[in-house]
Amino acid sequence: MKFGEKIVEGIFLERPNRYLARVEINGKETLAHVPDPGRLPGLLLPNRKVRLAYQPSEKRKTDYTLVLVWNGSIWVSVFPAFANFLISNGLKEKNLPFLNGYSSFRSEVKAGNSRFDFHLSFSKKEAYVEVKSVSLVEDGIGKFPDAPTKRGMKHVQELIEFSEKGYQAAVLFVSQRQDTQSITCNDKIDPDFCKWLRKAKNKGVELYGINCKVTPTTISLNKVIKVIL
């Protein structure tokens, strides 16, 4: 998947708030939208190389969207919505090894008191799948979340209810970087989410992980990895 029609390189300077970055492009300072409201520890550091999608519009406050951050030897995507796009494409092409046998799927499905990323229809069952984007990686281990997530905890709690009612339920962690070897939950940041995620696993909610291949202009699903709690 391409990041956009026009991608430019810049230098990250600072992050005035969750949704804004001050960057330097061709020697000039400007503001860019940050699509990931998480803390992005270890990534948005001063003078890091970044890549941005140029998307000018009268409806936008900024002309640029921050897409990639250079982290040592790899590009890391900081655009959480890409995870859903990639999984949607994988479902269309039926090439996700951990989800097989469905006849159809829908995106952004209202169920219970929440909206879930995907609903899959099988001949004798239905499944609800929630996708979580992972950007924080330490020593090859992806850690989710990088900021407290009450919304994520609510999703996990409802997936437990679906599992108990006989539905297939799953959380799919997509790490938008290539160096991720496994996924775990981040107890230091959100112990409540982690408590419910462990409970979900014990109640039959399936946990899957996959990392991504990221180039300066594209991102694609790469390798299935384990979720280890």
Output the pLDDT for position 5. Answer: 84
Output the pLDDT for position 28. Answer: 97
Separation CA 60–CA 35 (nearest Å): 13
Output the pLDDT for position 172. Answer: 98
Query: Which pTM value belongs to this model?
Result: 0.94
Pick from 24, 80, 83, 84: which is nearest to 52 by CA? 24
Write a three-state SS string for 6-22: CEEEEEEEEEEECCEEE
Output the pLDDT for position 148. Answer: 95
Output the pLDDT for position 58. Answer: 87
Helix ranges (H only) for 108-204 are 150-164, 191-202
Residues of the chain with CATH 2.40.50.580: 7-76
Selected from 3.90.650.10, 2.40.50.580, 3.10.180.10, 3.40.50.300, the CATH number assigned to the domain covering 7-76 reads 2.40.50.580
Separation CA 24–CA 186 (nearest Å): 32
Pick from 113, 121, 128: which is nearest to 162 by CA? 128
pLDDT tens for the chain, residues 1 to 229:
888 889 999 999 999 999 999 999 999 999 999 999 999 999 999 999 999 999 998 888 999 999 999 999 999 999 999 999 999 999 999 999 999 999 999 999 999 888 999 999 999 899 999 999 999 999 999 999 999 999 999 999 999 999 999 999 999 999 999 999 999 999 999 999 999 999 999 999 999 999 999 999 999 999 999 999 9
**Contact predicate 64/202, CB 8 Å:** no
Output the pLDDT for position 25. Answer: 97
Output the pLDDT for position 112. Answer: 86
Cα atoms in the Cβ-side hemisphere of radius 13 Å centred on 114: 19
In CATH, what number does 81-227 get? 3.40.1350.60
Residues of the chain with CATH 3.40.1350.60: 81-227
Output the CA torsion sign for 44, 48, 51, 55: positive
